[in-house]
Amino acid sequence: MSNPANPLQASLPAALVQIAYRVDDLEAACHEWAQKVGAGPFLVRNHLPVIATHNGEPAIYDHSAAFGQWGPVMLEIIQLHECEPASMREVLSHDQPGQINHYACFVEDLDAASAALISQGMPLTMSLTSSSGMEVHFHDARHLLGGVLELYVGNVHLRGFYDKVAALAQDWDGSDVVRYIN
């Protein structure tokens, strides 16, 4: 339930839809998560094509990602290949792999939710546009959450992907952990 006196709760859903970790070896991490906590199976995309900006200027965010189900939330595992400028890399890559990289949630209005976070001291670190045209905002919430907060509108395409990942986990027997997609 949201508390109108708390702008973060008022502008964001109560439940997060994704937790993401940064690793050095994406495929090995998928197998480790599957073995240790039963997360998966993982849909992997290498070098996701995105257009990124940092402080209104073009930025480089080259990463590969694996998406699997971990109980009620999606688990994303990220391997960063290149992240520039350094001020953006400092926020998005953290000090050590294996730490939480970000938490994600669906919002109804991306700009309004971002403005609420900025007003609470969580600056916009990166904006990106995916190859499907989806806009995503990353806010520096490390002081509050230990990671970045990723916001996007839960459109039909995105929710369909979340549903696909969750459906793959239903009755999954633990085999075929890593599945590459385009």
Global pTM value: 0.89
The pLDDT > 70 percentage for the chain reads 89
Q: Which residues of the chain register pLDDT less than 50?
A: 1-4, 7-8, 10-11, 13-14
pLDDT score for 131: 87
pLDDT score for 36: 96
Give the start-end residues of each E strand in the chain: 18-22, 42-45, 50-54, 57-70, 73-84, 100-107, 124-130, 135-141, 147-153, 178-180
DSSP code of 94?
-
Neighbouring residues of 142: CB distance < 8 A, sequence distance ≥ 6? 91, 94, 148
Tokens of 4: 């109108």
pLDDT score for 15: 63
Fold of 8-169: 2,3-Dihydroxybiphenyl 1,2-Dioxygenase; domain 1 (3.10.180)
Q: Are 29 and 23 in contact (CB under 8 A)?
A: yes
